[in-house]
A and B are shown apart, each in its own frame.
Chain A
Amino acid sequence: MNLLSSDIAALWLTLQLAAVTTIILMVIGAPLAWWLARSTSRFASVIEAMVALPLILPPTVIGFYLLIAFSPDNFLGGSWLALTGQSLAFTFSGLVIGSVIYSLPFVVQPLQSGFQSFDHKLLEAAETMGSGSFDRFFNLIIPLTRRAFATAALLGFAHTMGEFGVVLMIGGNIPGETQVLSIALYDHVEALDYQRAHWLAAGLLIFSFVLLVFLYGFNRNKGIRAG
């Protein structure tokens, strides 16, 4: 017994979702983390708490509120419908929005701590040498916080791969459209098809483990060399 086409479709969809989510998270997470790392305003701790909420909230709570927001009667769902002619609920776009919120802390927190340990005096030195803000970002900040960027991207990607509760609430279980790996796994267990469930479960387990070993190995080597 091997993977069926529906399982392969679920795997492909999951990878696409994780990739798109990670890209979006890196783009919005980096400036947000930078602001959180540098801001002294009290407002920043409120934002920090909001970013961290998905860590402790049951995913079904996030999914429930997202489902309500996605309704065409509400602002988000309504504007999306008006713009694209599509509903957000039970679509890939909806899954992306849900995943971005759900995985946000996994990207922002490593970036924020990376930026906090970054020596801001170096930026002043670069500035006096005529280096503009983009130049400084790409040639100083990214290379000097590359561990934080790698950690953020890998954690964001891996966490989105394993998402279940939020997807179930807002995406349902449409094969090829919103059926991700964890939900396909759930279906197989429900159907008592343990052999296929094993394939998926073991695949996800090994994938996650390899990713983490790679990540920690990368950070350890860099840590020893830099220290």
Chain B
Amino acid sequence: MSVNLNLNSLMDLSVKYVPSGDSNFSLALKVKLPSSGITAVYGPSGCGKTSLLRCIAGLAEAEHCQLSIGEHAIGDLPVTKRQLGYVFQEDRLFPHLSVEGNLDFAYKRRFSDEGPSKHEVIEWLDIEALLNRKPDQLSGGQKQRVAIARSLLTAPRCLLLDEPLAGVDSKARTPILFHLETVAANLDIPMIYVSHNLDEIIRLANHLIIMDQGQLVADGPLLNMLSRLDLELAQQENAAVVLNTRIAGHDGDYSLTHLAWGDSENGSLIIGQLPGAIGERVRVRIPCRDVSIALEEPNQSSILNVLPGVISDIELVDGARAIVKTEVAGQSILARITRMSLECLQLEKGKAVFLQIKTVALLSEHQ
């Protein structure tokens, strides 16, 4: 892969769309998104996420649609010339062609020779064994893997994914997420991933755009967005923060791995043993419901991860619960506790506390 000089550069996206016949809905959005990595578009169903993708692809006739990927401005081009990959909610494989026939259909029409080879794509999505099958002989998850592979073989400048896991049963989702991570790690194109599933987004995305009723609600790097208390994200049942850490050491006796972040020794976590070398980067997720707060360092507890931090913000969710944002070595961690505990412990901004973290989930080794 070539070195990407525009790693942090942003693309301007501007879309205005008024569907004919539906006076209650319109889409108007102006936002910047990074020109590499996965940008998730999140929002309730009916908020215009799919319409946004369809406008970008040219499948819906927008009044106005502007997006430049490098030198390539797609605004006024017909669908066939936009050079974007589109993975639909349904697989949309061509039923008369085998899996390989479907891949060849895309590869023969590829937009440039600089895209990934058939061999690479087949490996990334692990579909070698399926090549001779017909689409109706595949499971939902397999179909979607083939559909993703097919869209990559056209050598798109940007990949649009419209809830590709919505129609896939829950068991098959995790492998596909893994395959998508592999694709993102190997392919230097921006991806726009529409989803209303927070877990998928937390796992995959680097950047997040939140939409509601056709409008932009908020946007920014995923890590910042997840710890913002003014967004509805933090109030979700499965709300979580993501930390970028590095492997600080292995504890062979107990089969554990120590992770660290920042410069202070406060930023450290213990997790089940990982295979990586010291210094390797690891992305972990901490669910808000699994973090509790103590005023004094608990010295007799089965919980390994106890971190000192300082409360930076508090938000009441409903009558019963509150979310407390705490800074630990430069990163924010959210804890969801009861309002009763909040008052009993007299928690307030600026107070030093100890966070007890029950679970730390490994997200990916690619980041």
Q: Which residues of A contact B (CB under 8 A)?
A: 121-122, 124-132, 135, 139-140, 143-144, 226
Contact = CB atoms under 8 A, between A and B. Distances in A.
Interface stretch (B39-47, B85-93, B207-215, B219-227): B85-93
B84 A128 contact: yes
22 contacts: A121-B90, A121-B92, A124-B59, A124-B88, A125-B88, A126-B94, A127-B80, A128-B79, A128-B80, A128-B84, A128-B86, A129-B105, A129-B106, A129-B109, A129-B151, A130-B80, A130-B110, A131-B80, A131-B109, A144-B94, A144-B95, A144-B96
A139 B106 CA distance: 12
B111 A130 contact: yes
Taking each of B80, B85, B111, B154, which has the highest tally of chain A beta carbons within 10 Å of its own beta carbon? B80
A126 B94 CA distance: 9
Interface in B137-196: 150-151, 154
Interface in B75-127: 79-86, 88, 90, 92, 94-96, 105-106, 109-111
B57 interface: yes
Contacts of B57: 128
Contacts of B81: 130
Nearest to B85: A128
A85 B84 CA distance: 56
Contacts, number: 54
A156 B342 CA distance: 81
B245 to A, nearest CB: 38
Nearest to A131: B109
Contacts of B84: 128
Interface in B335-363: none
Contacts of A122: 92, 94
Contacts of B90: 121
A143 B95 CA distance: 10
Nearest to B136: A226
Nearest to A125: B92
Contact of B154 (A130, A143, A226): A130
A150 to B, nearest CB: 14
A140 B105 CA distance: 10
Interface residues of B, number: 24
Tell me what chain B mostly uses at the interface: helix, strand, loop, or mixed: loop
A38 to B, nearest CB: 16
Contacts of B80: 127-128, 130-132
Nearest to B88: A125
A144 B14 CA distance: 37
Taking each of A121, A130, A139, A144, which has the highest tally of chain B beta carbons within 10 Å of its own beta carbon? A130
B59 A128 contact: yes
A137 B97 CA distance: 15
A140 B88 CA distance: 18
Interface in B27-46: none
B53 to A, nearest CB: 10
A125 B80 CA distance: 10
Nearest to A146: B96
A121 B81 CA distance: 18
A122 B106 CA distance: 13
A122 B79 CA distance: 14
Contact of A125 (B82, B86, B111): B86
Contacts of A131: 80, 105, 109
A182 B110 CA distance: 55
Contacts of B110: 130
Contacts of A139: 105
Nearest to A227: B136
A58 to B, nearest CB: 42
A130 B85 CA distance: 10
A126 B105 CA distance: 9
B95 A127 contact: no
A185 to B, nearest CB: 42
Give the 6 A-B residue pairs with the shortest CB-CB distance, closest first: A125-B92, A128-B86, A127-B79, A130-B109, A130-B80, A143-B96
A205 B57 CA distance: 55
Contacts of A130: 80-81, 83, 109-111, 154
A220 B61 CA distance: 41
B279 to A, nearest CB: 41
A122 B88 CA distance: 10
A26 B37 CA distance: 49
A130 B84 CA distance: 9
Interface in B263-310: none
Nearest to B78: A127
Contacts of A143: 96
A131 B110 CA distance: 10
A16 B339 CA distance: 89
A132 B57 CA distance: 15
Nearest to B89: A121
A127 B79 CA distance: 6
B183 to A, nearest CB: 17
A127 B94 contact: no
A64 B80 CA distance: 49
